[in-house]
Chain A
Amino acid sequence: MVEPVVPDQLLPGKKDAGLEASRSLAALEELERKVQEFLRDDKSAKLDTKRLASLKSLLELVGSAEQNFKLKAEFERERQENAILQEVSRRLSSAAEIRDVLRAILESLRQVVEFDAAGIFVFNKEMQQIEVDMLAGYGGAQRRRVYTKFQEGVKHGEGIVATVVFSGKPLYVPDVKSDLRYVEVRPTTRSELAVPIFVRDELIGAFNLESDKVDAFSERDLRTLMTFASHAGVALERARADRERQHTQRIAEELALARRIHTSFLPKVMPQFAPYDLGGMNFPSSEVGGDYYDFVRITDDDLGIIMSDVAGHGVAAALLMANFRACIRIESRAHYAIKTILERVNEFLVETNPPDSFVTGFYGVLNRKFNVLTYANAGHNPPVVLRKGEVPHLLEVGGPILGVLPDAKYEEAQIELMPNDIFLLYTDGVTEARDEHDQEFGLDRLIELAERHRNLSANELARRISHEVQSFNAPDSTMDDLTLSVVKYDATDPH
């Protein structure tokens, strides 16, 4: 008998075209040997050697014809496969939707490998779940089963696909009924072939084929599946890069929008409020922050002064800031007491705010007839009044931060302003700027700086301080929003 070729451990019982050819050749040789034996042993052979020779050459012809046929079939299959792979590559380069590409890969594969069901699985290691999948040949209920079985399989290390995802090696199960790792999804499945999908060196999933026949797949099928799996890997990688690019783009667009919103809320020109000189400056951080300052004309003699900081950055902070701004601008014109205004703003923000965001805010009303500032500070860095020859006055009276405590109460206080007083408001981006030694800029430095440049106009002073803070900040440290405003009681103003 012809010795069977030792089966590959992975692929017992190959039905490869090459193997078939070598089998027929071996059979031919065996036949020839037997004939020669016959001729040698039986001298009285009646067989016509001539006829035998021609029979032999005929047999050889048949054999080579058979072999040619097989080679041709193999060549044909290779040609077809190449054409299909080219088509797949073409689709890959045409930035198609990932699911379309995966579907195309499955359809193309069907033209070269016979199977009854197939699946492309992408495994998200962090999430321990399927990210993208493409299935063929599974019924509706079976589809859900594929999901749950794969999920469970991944958790418990069961199932052919999960085994491949864990080992990173191809696996062929010629008879699923005799393999303990197999988990049934399709009752008719008899054999299964699964290969890993790699993106560069990272294992990202598996590609599996199922057949209703026992031992349906050959080594050739395995090679083909691996080629298709590598194409699926390329497609998935491209899809991932696309997703990331889109995500980055979307974030950039959102930030640009938030930045526009933010900028549009800040005062463009300072109101005229003689004898007071008003100035302000805002440098948003690279992320969009939520600093907001404003001067609101309430009556001819009353000016609302707002300085605030929304905790957090980005679109959420910009929205919260928009909320706060709308609210305080409305309330400020309603002639309530300042503490009441803050209570109402707080109430509104508590209702609308996510729990871990809040606003620190200062609100004051400056009356230029009596030169009195009435204010309440809701958890904001205390603004300072700098008066020659006196220690700085910190305006701390008020209550807690806005937007978190439902029944927060606020107090208000008054301070009379004197000619040449500098009233300085700022956010923590100023005082918490840090140098390369991790030292904070701090309030003392800010006060000292403002005193030193007290002769500058309000706007120039604000610009000067911003400049100093920016150069103080260590180049590699992240910069918070930097906002300050200045109100100068200009004694020289003839008002």
Chain B
Amino acid sequence: MKLKTTETNGIYLVEMSGKIMGGPESAQFHDAMKHAVANNLKKVVIDLGGVEWMNSSGIGLLVSAYTTLKNAGSEMKLARTTDKIQSLLVITKLNSVFDSHDSVENAAKSFN
């Protein structure tokens, strides 16, 4: 799993890539979320375009990010969910909970 974060025009963009399978690597992702909360970043976009594979632990990461951000009054949007992630979101029925967009731009535009 690789992670890159950038802040532009009030959008906190978290780009994830590689295989997302939880484990010790998750700490980096949790840190990014903590950063968003600590710095009062209200609009968070998780770009999943570069994710090769994700299992249920990866879903766990997204869920915990969603909860953390929601509790802090921030909003999380997903961008470029791959087919594999989309099918996981359908199975877990989180597709009705997470707001997914086909591009980072559209995800960024979708914030109120």
Could you tell me which A residues sit within 8 Å of B by CB distance?
309, 311-312, 355-358, 360, 378-382, 398-401, 404-405, 428, 432, 480
Contacts and interface: CB of A to CB of B under 8 A. Distances in A.
Given A309-B56, A400-B93, 11 more contacts: A356-B61, A357-B60, A360-B91, A379-B94, A380-B91, A399-B93, A401-B92, A401-B93, A404-B64, A404-B66, A432-B55
A419 B75 CA distance: 50
A220 to B, nearest CB: 48
A400 B94 contact: yes
Given A379-B91, A382-B91, A404 B57 contact: no
Given A356-B60, A480-B55, A401 B94 contact: yes
A404 B56 contact: no
Interface of A is mostly: loop
B92 A360 contact: yes
Contacts of A355: 63-64, 67-68
A313 to B, nearest CB: 9
Nearest to A354: B64
Contacts of B93: 378-379, 398-401
Nearest to B96: A400
A404 B97 CA distance: 11
Interface of B: 22, 26, 30, 55-57, 59-61, 63-64, 66-68, 91-94, 96-97
Contacts of A311: 22, 56-57, 59-60
9 contacts: A311-B59, A312-B60, A355-B63, A358-B60, A360-B92, A398-B93, A401-B92, A404-B63, A404-B67
B92 A400 contact: yes
Nearest to B67: A355
A356 B55 contact: no
Nearest to A406: B67
Contacts of B63: 355-356, 358, 401, 404
B22 A405 contact: no
Nearest to B71: A355
A134 B30 CA distance: 36
A400 B60 CA distance: 13
Contacts of A358: 59-60, 63
B59 to A, nearest CB: 7
Given A312-B22, A380-B91, A356 B64 contact: yes
B60 A381 contact: no
| B55, B56, B63: residue with the most chain A Cβ atoms closer than 10 Å | B56
Given A379-B92, A381-B91, A401-B92, A356 B56 contact: no
Contacts of A400: 92-94, 96-97
B62 to A, nearest CB: 9
Contacts of B68: 355
Contacts of B97: 400, 405
A379 B97 CA distance: 12
A300 to B, nearest CB: 33
A382 B92 CA distance: 10
Instruction: Give 8 closest A-B pairs by Cβ, nearest first.
Output: A356-B64, A379-B92, A355-B64, A400-B93, A356-B60, A311-B56, A311-B60, A401-B92
B92 A356 contact: no
| A378, A382, A404: residue with the most chain B Cβ atoms closer than 10 Å | A404
Contacts of A360: 56, 91-92
Contacts of B92: 360, 379, 400-401
Nearest to A357: B60
Nearest to A405: B97
A311 B94 CA distance: 15
A398 B26 CA distance: 29
A105 B96 CA distance: 65
